[in-house]
Structure 1
Amino acid sequence: MRNDVRDRRAETGESQADLAAAVGVTRQSINAIERGRYDPSLDLAFALADHFDCRIEDLFDPDAEAADEE
């Protein structure tokens, strides 16, 4: 699954640690999501979408492969 978490985080100027604290997970979890090694739970996907003020569908694309898997 491809996601735009890294790009959106870069646009806001947040570090992985900042984003992790904002949504209640570890920095390692954010890193794993960004690298396509971990698909977030539905609760976490909603928290990330809420944080970036977008829809889950705008943040995650289940039909595309993650950048590291290409």
Structure 2
Amino acid sequence: MDARQIMGWNLRLLRVERGLSQERLAFEARIDRAYVGRVERGMENVTISTIEALARALEVPVAALFSQPDRNASQPKPLRPGRKPKGSK
């Protein structure tokens, strides 16, 4: 996995864990929603400023976006459209 794929993996994992839609994360980070989707798919070469904005919106350190996923981990699942995970407010 290259750095873009690792970051995309972690971005989706953290976003879903927090019950945030791509649209909400984009709003909080002040970036375009479609861009968030491309980052999650590892298709964008993200600037440091955008990485910082995403980490701030997720309330995690920047390093959390670059932690190597376990080799046996399955791809993070997206949120179901229009639904928040149980226990989210």
TM bucket, shorter chain: 0.7 to 0.9
- Runs (4+) of structure 1 exceeding 2 A deviation are none
Q: Percent identity?
A: 27
Give ranges in structure 2 of 5+ residues lacking alignment.
68-74, 76-89
Q: Does 1:49 align with 2:55?
A: yes
CA RMSD in angstroms, aligned pairs only: 1.8
For residue 64 of structure 1, what is the aligned residue in structure 2? Answer: none
Higher helix content, 1 or 2: 1
Q: Distance in 1 between matches of 2:42 and 2:23?
A: 17
Amino acid at match of 1:52: L
TM-score under structure 2 length normalisation:
0.63
Give ranges in structure 1 of 5+ residues lacking alignment.
62-66
Aligned with 1:26 (options 21, 27, 32): 32
Structure showing greater radius of gyration is 2
Higher strand content, 1 or 2: 1
Q: Distance in 2 between matches of 1:16 and 1:28?
A: 8
Q: Distance in 1 between matches of 2:61 and 2:45?
A: 16
The answer to which structure, 1 or 2, has the higher relative contact order (CA under 8 A, 6+ apart) is 1
Alignment of 1:1-70 (within 5 A): 1=3, 2-3=6-7, 4-60=10-66
Q: CA deviation at 1:26?
A: 0.9
TM-score under structure 1 length normalisation:
0.78
